[in-house]
Amino acid sequence: MYEKMLILKFPRTNVQEPIVCNLAKNFDLTFTILNAAISPRKEGQMVLQLSGSPHNFDEGVRYLRGRGIIVSNAGEEIRRNDEKCVHCGSCTAVCPTGALSIERPEMLVVFDQEKCSICKLCVSVCPPHAMELRPAENGETQPE
């Protein structure tokens, strides 16, 4: 079982949709809403405790992002230490969300943190330990 506290930022167009209920119905995830500030015709924010299998969790987060919702972790985040990365590509083989990908023709590995579900799979496969789990430090991702 996998459990994380997430912050969801809803664009104006989605605040009326039962997106969080769909997480339970379509992805067999359980959730507890810890905090919500959502108003009609305005952007909304919700703090959610979400749990389920790792696969369902990743699928659920992918669904949220596909609906235009910005998903971030309330307590931790994955960062790449660019000084350590040697662009070996090992992490791209395990990343389930496409957050790590190879840019051609340069064959450089790029990291898109917006797509990261913080599954941590890349952390253990990175030979020089460039992928690091850190406490979330971006003030914009913290609950208000």
Q: Can you list the alpha helix ranges (DSSP code H) found in 1-144?
A: 19-27, 54-66, 90-94, 121-125
What burial class does residue 56 get, using C-beta atoms within 10 Å of its C-beta: 0-12 exposed, 13-18 middle, 19+ buried? middle
Cβ-based nearer residue to ligand SF4, 23 or 131: 131
Measure the CA–CA gap between 142 and 6, rounded to whole angstroms. 10
Cβ-based nearer residue to ligand SF4, 10 or 73: 73
Contact 10, 64 (CB under 8 A): no
Residue 130 interacts with ligand SF4 (CB under 6 A): yes or no: yes
Measure the CA–CA gap between 13 and 15, rounded to whole angstroms. 6
Residue 122 interacts with ligand SF4 (CB under 6 A): yes or no: yes
Residue 56 interacts with ligand SF4 (CB under 6 A): yes or no: no
- Kindly state the smallest distance separating residue 127's Cβ from ligand SF4, in Å: 6
Residue 99 interacts with ligand SF4 (CB under 6 A): yes or no: yes
User: Which residues contact ligand SF4 by CB under 6 A?
Assistant: 78, 80, 85-91, 94-95, 97, 99-100, 109, 116-122, 125-128, 130-131
